[in-house]
Structure 1
C-alpha cells in the first residue's frame, strides 16, 4: 500500500508540473498554432462529431463542414482560450487516459503533439500511458472513423530514452536549455517508429503514414537529424 501511495504521489506531481508548464505558456501556444487542412485520406460528412485530444487553445485542423467539434485538454486555461476562439465548439477539461465519452462517439479524433507528454517515472511507464491513450481512442472512435496522430518520432530507441532522462533531470532541477528546446517542468518521451507501430497494433488500429517531414536540430549552419514529424492515420482494424 505504501508503494502504491508513493507511485500515485509521483504521478500526481508529474501531472501538476505538466499543467504548470502549459498554463505558463498558454499565450504562446494560442498564438503559434495555425489550422491545417485535413489529409486527403480523411473524409467526414455533415453532422459528424470531431474530437481533438490535447487541443490546447486552438484546433489543429480546419473542418469545412457542419460538424460538432469537441476539444479536450487537461489544462483549464487552454479550454478557456479555446472557447473564446471557437465559441461554437464544446471544450472539456479531461485526461487522454480516461476519455469522458461513450464508446463509438466520434467520426474523427485528432491528437497533435500529445503522446510524448504522457510521461511517467520511467520510459516503460510512458509507453504504458501511450498504450492506454491509444486504447481509449479506439474505444471512442466509431467503427468506420479515423484517428489522426501527429508526433515527433525519434530516430532510435536509444535517443528516446536519452531525451526522457535528460528532460527528467532538467525538470527535477528546474533547468531550462532554450537552444535545446528543454523547458522548465517538462518531461518528454519521443517514441521511435517501431514502438509507435507496435502500440497502435496492440490498440487494434491499422497504421498508415500520410505526412512526414524531417525533425532536425539546427545549430548555426549545421543540422542533426533527430527523427521525423509524422502524421499517422489510424483506423480500427475492422474498418471497411
Structure 2
C-alpha cells in the first residue's frame, strides 16, 4: 500500500507540476499576444503621427503661401520724415506722384516695430510692383522702398548680406553680387536655408570656406542635394 501511496503521491505531484507548466505557457502566450497587440497599436500610432506631421507641414506651407501672397500688395518704406500714419501716407503719396511718377491708392498704413519704417498696403499687386520698379528714381534720397518680406525671407537676406560683408572685409578683389535670395561669388551661386549657406557642389563649398575661414563666427556651409540624387539614394539596386 505504501508503494501505491508513493506512486499516487508522485502522480499528484507530476499532475500539479504539469498544470503549473501549462499555466506558465498560457501566461507566455498571453504576454506575446499582448505584446503583439501593443506593437500593432504602436505601429498605428506611428503612422497616424507621420500623417499628422505631413498634414501640419502641408498646412504650414499653405499658410506661408497665403502670407506671401497677401504681402504682394504691400511696400515697406524707410526714411519718411513723419512717424504719424496720416502724415506719412500723404508724404508717400506725394513721393509716388512727384518722384516715382506712378499712381496708386493706399488702402492702409502701418508703422512697423522700431518706429522708422512704414508698411503701405496698395490697391493691387500691380500698383506695388510699379512702385518697386520705379524705386531707382530715389537715388540720392534717404528714402528706401522694399518688398514686404516674411520673417523667414528677411532672415535669408540678412544672412546673405552678412556673408557679403565678411567676404569683402578679407577679399576685396573677389567679385560678389547679391541677389534677392541668393549671392554670387565669382559667378558661383549660393543660397540660404535656415542658418546654412548652400553651395551647388563640394568644390563651390570648399571655395567659399576658404574665403570665410578668418571670420569670427564661421558660416555653416552645406551642399545642395539634387532631387535625382535623392531618388537614387532611396532606390534599391537591382542585383
Per the shorter chain, which TM-score range? under 0.3
Structure showing the higher helix proportion among its residues: 2
Determine which structure has more spread, i.e. the larger CA radius of gyration: 2
> What is the TM-score when the length of structure 1 is the normalising length?
0.21
Q: Which structure has greater strand proportion?
A: 1
Q: Which has the higher relative contact order, 1 or 2, with Cα contacts under 8 A spaced 6 or more apart?
A: 1
